[in-house]
Structure 1
């Protein structure tokens, strides 16, 4: 079964969209990279490398140093779907990343975005 076409989209093509979305709301590229790093384990150099080599999202997540163990605490609606109910693991990871950037752009406090168990 073929994956969704978003899986083949390069991380390099969506990262600037995330940054633009955040910057329009007064946030920074550093904050975007921080939330992506929290989710994936990539450091700033790893994110820059993923952009430079134009790896697709499937490879970006497959090569992620360490998916955050608290990522399952990310809940809510993104693109009309509840992220906690998405069955495909890769699609869920992509939507988690979308959700974190969306929360950042909406002005949510960083300590709330970078979830920790209660």
Structure 2
């Protein structure tokens, strides 16, 4: 999928897919929201607002209240690409989010997913 098309996707369009993915693996939307909060600094109301406003991914990340300073600890492969090697900052943020959601769905421990930062997004 071309990067421009991904940028224009709304958070509201992908959030239900994330919910389905984690629930299929017996994880909760609370777990999903916790990692999204950890990554972006949005709180529950903020996530609800960007969903209701159908904010695109570019705006979602541009207006994120506080990107987590430990995002550099998010490593690994998503969609065949190492997330730490992605040069486009927005695409890297999107892939960080995908990677965290995958880790939730795979049943990883929350302390591992949050890179040991258990107090943030709790």
Q: If the TM-score is normalised by the length of the shorter chain, which range does it land in?
A: over 0.9
How big is the alpha-carbon RMSD for the aligned residues of Structure 1 and Structure 2?
1.4
Shift of 1:79: 0.4
Distance 2:63 2:30 in 1: 21
Distance 1:19 1:31 in 2: 10
Match of 1:67 in 2: 67
Distance 1:76 1:4 in 2: 23
Match of 2:13 in 1: 13
Match of 2:105 in 1: 105
SS at match of 1:47: helix
Counterparts of 1:1-118 in structure 2, within 5 Å, are 4-116=4-116
Moved over 4 A (4+): none
CA contact (8 A) 1:70 1:116 kept: no
1:24-80 Cα distance to aligned partner (Å, 9 max, x none): 000011111110110000001000001000000000000000000001100000000
Structure 2 spans left out of the alignment, 5+ residues: 118-122
Distance 2:110 2:56 in 1: 27
Shift of 1:5: 1.0
> Normalization by structure 1: what TM-score?
0.95
Structure 1 spans left out of the alignment, 5+ residues: none
